[in-house]
Amino acid sequence: MFVLANLIPKIPFGPWVDSGVDWLTKHLSGLFDAIQNGGNVVMDTMTNALTGIPTWLFIIGLTIFTALMFGKKWGFPLFTFIGLIIVENQDLWSNMMNTFTLVLMASLISVIIGVPLGIWMAKNDVVNKIVQPILDFMQTMPAFVYLIPAVAFFGIGVVPGVFASVIFALPPTVRMANLGIRQVPTDLVEAADSFGSTGTQKLFKIELPLAKKTIFSGINQTLMLALSMVVVASMIGAPGLGRGVLAAVQDADIGKGFVNGIALVILAIIIDRLTQKMNETPNQKTDQQSEHSKYHWKTWTAIVVALAMIGSGVANAITSAKSQEETVKIATTPWDSEKASSTVLAQALRQHGYEVEMTSLDNSIMWQSIANGQADVSVSAWLPTTHKAQYNKYKSQIDMMGPNLKGATNGLTVPTYMTDVNSIEDLQDQAGKKITGIEPGAGISKMAKNTIKDYGLDQKGWKLSESSTGAMTVALGKAIKEKKPIIVTGWQPHWMFQKYDLKYLKDPKKTMGSSENIYTMSRKGMKEDKPDAYKAVDKFHWSKDDMSSVMLDMSNGKSAKQAANKWIKEHQSEVDAWFK
């Protein structure tokens, strides 16, 4: 069997897919741009309308809706009220509205596509046989894979997040619509045929009403799956609660992850219970008189509350539209050093009257977002070594400014108590032949892999264990506390060199690079359409000690904004000079 497999040439599935995506991106770029621009307008309008509703009015209004729907059962209305109060108390309201918009749009598109497709499958066995394997593929393919074409087609932001969520969440609606139509009793369909019903009459008066509960069950599953994609979509810049969860994972921050997770749970339960309630069959005990007396005031109450919420949301959305046009969009990476510099710049811009939107992205996607013009600026370009590949790929599409920090370094790092090793050449079997790294897309991770190969460590069984910056620092702190050997991918400036006694391993072959600078880069055209912000960003610079002090405050419990504001307050004249 294995011999036969070896005789067959390797099928180039990967290159075929790459070529197909490249072809689509090249020839349908106009369509993708139109979808992206239109989608951004729709999503921004929806989010602005939702966030424009006063929080107290939204909470009270939704509580009233749930009370009207659930009648004397006060458990769920009470949960809705308390749950939303908790979300607001944790300053996660805006993030929850962004998440709700993404879930709502992804689910709506899934229903618009899924229900007709499911009906078609139920009516046509050939279509059913073709679509079923496609649905299997969509459900079983890892969700992260959908991010790659999403970014290639639509760049970063909420639109590619919706695109990936639709692919992942669509199958349940299609399958349950198909199942619901097929489960309609045959004798009823035959009776309709015998009375001369048309296909449209059968569908809307017999099949869809009888299949409604099954179809709604599929829609409910689609909503839950779309909600589960929130964290994955945040990796490509989709806003919302997913960003908080992702940042908590990257920083190994249990508390932050729990808080954002609780907000997601509250939103999920509210959506789930409401859709289930909508799928219930009305109580048949009520007669016409009781129905008029009970439901008349409920209908008017719901209309008044809805009009109040919609009116306030639209009014506030219109007044906030101008500020969105002047927003400076900063792209950064999840590393502590870049979070520190980006937050300091963002807070300085806000202090001087600018609206700022900061998005944490994977390193490669960060460069692509600047090249595509979806982000204005980044202060996270490590050159000439760490980000050499990204620079060579995008240098003609970006405006590279000067360095904002000089003398940054990378290296394999160990605690000073590991006296048996001072150079990479000394490595034998320390730390279980494992180097603890950070994110797979980071430049330092690629350099560490090359180091293992160039020094022949791969032949001795050495491996790079990639995780996240937060996980790496947690592992380092735990090992130092227990006085155990550990080797990590380290860089300066970083707070770990201030908090712990560490040393770089000597690198005779310079595979981990030499001294580097961190550069500021912007999209093409920012200098012309945002000249004042461009000048300020271009003047932004600080020292390794400055960055390390901010990172140390962050590691000691301060939020990134608190640490940045503290540094700005201590260096106010220097910061003001950036804006002169």
Domain borders along the chain are 17-278+302-314, 328-579
Strand partners, 465: 436
Residue 441's Cα: distance from chain center in Å?
16
Angle at 48 between CA 46 and CA 49, to 5 degrees: 65
Instruction: Tell me the mean pLDDT per 10 residues along the chain, length 580.
Output: 61 79 80 83 82 86 86 86 92 88 91 93 92 90 81 81 89 93 87 82 87 90 88 81 79 80 91 84 50 60 74 65 67 87 94 88 85 89 88 90 90 92 91 89 85 91 87 89 92 87 92 88 91 92 91 86 94 92
**What stretch of H or E contains 383?**
strand 377-383
Residue with tokens 């692919």: 167
CB neighbour burial string for 192-225, b if at least 16 within 10 angstroms, e if fewer? beeeeeeeeebbeebbbebbeebbbbbbbbbbbb
CATH number of 17-278+302-314: 1.10.3720.10
Cα(492)–Cα(514) distance, integer angstroms:
12
Asked whether 101 and 46 are in contact (CB, 8 A), the reply is yes
DSSP 8-state code for residue 414: E
Tokens of 46: 């929806």
Cα(307)–Cα(312) distance, integer angstroms:
8
Helix (H), strand (E) counts: the chain: 28, 9
Q: Which CATH number fits the domain 328-579, given the four candidates 3.30.230.70, 3.40.190.10, 3.40.50.620, 3.90.1530.10?
A: 3.40.190.10
The CA–CA distances, whole Å, from 43 to 104, 158, 231, 544 equal 10, 8, 18, 40
Q: Report long-range pairs for 312-317 (Cβ below 8 Å, ≥24 apart).
A: 312/52, 312/53, 312/54, 312/57, 313/48, 313/49, 313/50, 313/51, 313/52, 313/53, 314/49, 314/52, 315/52, 316/48, 316/51, 316/52, 316/53, 317/45, 317/48, 317/49, 317/51, 317/52
- What pLDDT score does 178 carry? 93
- What pLDDT score does 40 carry? 81
Tokens of 466: 């990639």
Of 529, 544, 431, give the one whose Cα is nearest residue 498: 544
